[in-house]
Each structure stands twice: as C-alpha cells, then as structure tokens.
Amino acid sequence: MADHGMRVGQGFDVHRYSDDPDRSLVLGGVRFEGERGLHGHSDADAVAHACIDALLAAAGLGDIGQLFSDTDPAWAGADSLELLRLAAGAVRDAGWDPVNVSCSVVIDAPRIAPHRDTMRDRLSAAAGAPITVTARHSEGVGALGRREGVAAWAVALVARQPGTGEPS
Ligand code: MG
C-alpha cells in the first residue's frame, strides 16, 4: 500500500444550548459573556472539539471521548483549549505532526466574524499548528435554525514525523 506520509481526519461536534444561566457560550476558545451557553461536561466548545476529533482521527487515535471521558470528573468544566493542547500532544506522541486544521461552525448568533482571528490564534497556539475557523448561518434550517444548538465540522491534516517509520 502506497504511503505518502500524510493523513486527513474529519471531526464533527454538536452541543445543545443549556438552561443553566451560569454557563457562557465558548467557541474556539473565545468566551461570549452574556450569551446563552451550551450544555456539556467541559466548557462545551464545539469548535475546539471538532478540531480535536479531526486531529485524533487523522492520527488513528480514536475520538475525543476515548481521551477525555465525559464521565471523568477531571474534565468537568474543562477548558477545551487545554484538551486541544493535550490531543495535539497525543498526536505527536503517536508519530504525527499536525499540519493544519480547518473548522466550520454553524451558528446564527452571536456573530463570529469579529472573533474569528482570536479563535484562530488561540486554537493554533493550543494545537501548535494553524487552525482556521469559518462560520455559516443556518438559513433557518432545522434544529440549528431553531437555535437548539451549535454544530461544527473540521478536517485536519497530519504528516508523519521524519524518521518515525510507518505508524499505523
Ligand atoms: Mg463536544
């Protein structure tokens, strides 16, 4: 089987909105104070989670739930940028270097564009590789259009570290 030393991975995440008034919306490592938060064991950062799943999938390391169980109290309220940093470390430990990640999030409000560069910078710093974020409106379609939650998709590219042979 030809091996070009590169792998892609895909990630998806969705979180429903929380009724807990103490939770704030967190996306791409940016906290939107005063905006209704998402339900989740961690800070429910769907953008960071999709990026994590894409990186783990590319490296053949399973998914976010295997690394950071949502029943483990260690990750309760976790900063997902820290989870991303740990996941990128696991990818490197497995013999792969993250090359880049591209994430798209579907959300109608608040506007993401003013925060896009901050998200890019924080996510990229956590992963040690460029991560870009784009945002789409739902056009009113389905559960996302009814503002029941937020969904994010990501793709990641990883490259085999020099001299590490052919990890599976
Ligand atoms: Mg998640």
Which amino acid is present at 73?
A: P
User: How many angstroms does the Cα of residue 99 sit away from the middle of ligand 1?
Assistant: 22
Mean pLDDT of the chain: 95
**Residue 46: how many other CB atoms lie within 10 Å:** 28
Q: Is the pLDDT of residue 11 over 90?
A: yes
Residue 106 CA to ligand 1 centre (angstroms): 14
% of the chain with per-residue pLDDT over 90: 89
Kindly give the distance from the C-alpha atom of residue 162 to the centroid of ligand 1, in angstroms, as a whole number.
Answer: 32
Distance 4 CA to ligand 1 centre (A): 31
CA of 13 to the centre of ligand 1 (A): 5
Structural domains of the chain in order of their starting residue, each with its CATH number = 6-160 (3.30.1330.50)
Residue 151 CA, ligand 1 centroid: distance in Å: 9
Distance in Å, CA 134 to ligand 1 centroid: 18
Ligand 1 mean position to 41 CA, how many Å? 8
* Gap from CA of 62 to ligand 1 centroid (Å): 14
Q: Which tokens is 72 given? A: 């483990």
Per DSSP, the three-state class of 84 is helix
Global pTM exceeds 0.75: yes
What CA–CA distance (Å, rounded) separates 163 from 165? Answer: 6
Q: How many angstroms is it from 28 CA to the middle of ligand 1?
A: 12
The contacts of residue 167 (CB under 8 Å, 6+ apart) are 59, 60, 94, 95, 96, 160
Question: Mapping DSSP to helix (H, G, I), strand (E, B) and coil, where does residue 110 land?
Answer: coil
Q: What is the pLDDT of residues 118-165, one digit of tens each?
A: 999 999 999 999 999 999 999 999 999 999 999 999 999 999 998 876
* Per-residue pLDDT tens over the stretch 29-53: 999 999 999 999 999 999 999 999 9
Average pLDDT over residues 6-33: 97
